[in-house]
Amino acid sequence: MKSIRLLTGRTLQCVQPSIWKLEYEVRSGAEVVGTIRFPKALSRKAEAESGDGQWIIADRGIFKQKLFVTRANDQKPVAEYVFGAFGENKIRLSESRRLRLKRDFWKHEYALTTDMNMLLFKLKERAGLKGVIDIDLDKRAESTEELPWLFFLVLYIAISNRRQRKAG
């Protein structure tokens, strides 16, 4: 698999090859460059992998939902994401660095931008039985060190929202 950082400036697709499995492939053309899978049907945990490494994304909490991203072989979280109200949420990378996750529920779009409003990448779901998500990686995202796990974090949120809509 390739590094997500090497694919900036391109449009990727996240495809669910089989509606019977909760496994998704991130593709650049016909090449699989990453995967994200939910081990169990009702799981609130996903395993993500690309050429950059492996991560576990776990959803904890009921009333105040939080996502934790950890490296596959580590117990210490790399990031914590707290769901906010509708619209825009912030991902805190450090004391001085924050990113904005903008969600448009009606269009099923997600955009991750810097605090200076520079677009890193954008996700848009396509209608259909199989879950297809188009991902536009901006070339400027290449310099973002946290890009691989941020990519999978936003993808996890989009897939989880799609699963909830289909179940409800």
Domain ranges for the chain: 4-54+103-163
SS3 assignment, position 129: coil
Handedness of CA 60, 36, 138, 69 (dihedral sign): positive
Q: Is pTM beyond 0.85 here?
A: yes
Residue 7 in tokens: 């694919």
Which range of 40-44, 78-82, 110-114, 127-131 scores highest in mean pLDDT? It is 110-114
Residue 141 in tokens: 């995202």
Helix spans in the chain (H):
147-167
Which H or E element spans position 124? strand 119-126
> How far is CA 131 from its chain centroid?
14
Q: Please give the pLDDT value at position 168.
A: 52
Residues in the chain: 168
Who wins on pLDDT, 92 or 114?
A: 114
What average pLDDT does the segment 77-89 reach? 71
